[in-house]
Amino acid sequence: MTETRNESVTWLTQEAYDRLKAEFDYLSGQGRIDIAKKIEAAREEGDLRENGGYHAAKEEQGKQEGRILQLQHILENARVGEPPRTDGVVGPGMTVTVRFVRDDEEVTFLLASREESGAPIDVYSPKSPLGSAISGKKIGEQATFSLPNGRSTTVEILEAVPYGGA
């Protein structure tokens, strides 16, 4: 298994890594302090059964802890920089153009982590049904994958080039 196909690896630009690390540092530090203060202030208002502020703060705390775990997983499995790429072969960090065989529609997108959402181009995850189906394919090859409605569709790879950035 090559590193670009490793399901646990998330390729990130330095900018995306720094942005996620800053969010993680805030949420796991000052963010936890802030939410604890909200909970304590709401708790002092009295009866917790009918205290909307308390319940809202506890719910916010749960979402925040979930995001902390998500960020921790991404950062622990991140590779910063450019994934190894070969022109004409689909993989993370490539700008890919596919043609949907059924309706002859062409779509161009960046195959990358959704955490790269700052890109000025649509971003499809390598773990998505389409991303998984086309990874490792070469120009001219076809791939079939399942749609959310249960049907399947086929795409042909028209182009796969390294993403040039904004």
Helix/strand/coil (H/E/C) assignment for every residue in 144-157: EEECCCCCEEEEEE
Q: Are 113 and 153 members of one domain? A: yes
Q: Are 14 and 75 members of one domain? A: yes
For residue 85, being part of any structural domain is answered with no
Query: Which residue is it, tokens 């409605």?
Result: 149
pLDDT attached to residue 91: 82
* Mean pLDDT, the chain cut into blocks of 10 residues (166 residues total): 47 78 93 92 81 88 91 82 68 87 89 69 85 90 90 92 68
pLDDT attached to residue 95: 85
Q: Are 110 and 41 members of one domain? A: no
For residue 110, being part of any structural domain is answered with yes
For residue 73, being part of any structural domain is answered with yes
State the total domains in the chain: 2
Residues 6+ apart with CB under 8 A from 155: 98, 99, 100, 101, 130, 133, 134, 142, 143, 144, 145
pLDDT attached to residue 80: 76
Which pTM does this prediction carry?
Answer: 0.54
Q: Are 15 and 37 members of one domain? A: yes
Range of the domain at 105: 94-162
pLDDT attached to residue 8: 58
pLDDT attached to residue 166: 47
Among the three residues 53, 80, 107, which one is the final residue of a domain in this structure?
A: 80
For residue 87, being part of any structural domain is answered with no
For residue 116, being part of any structural domain is answered with yes
pLDDT attached to residue 2: 35
pLDDT attached to residue 5: 42
For residue 41, being part of any structural domain is answered with yes
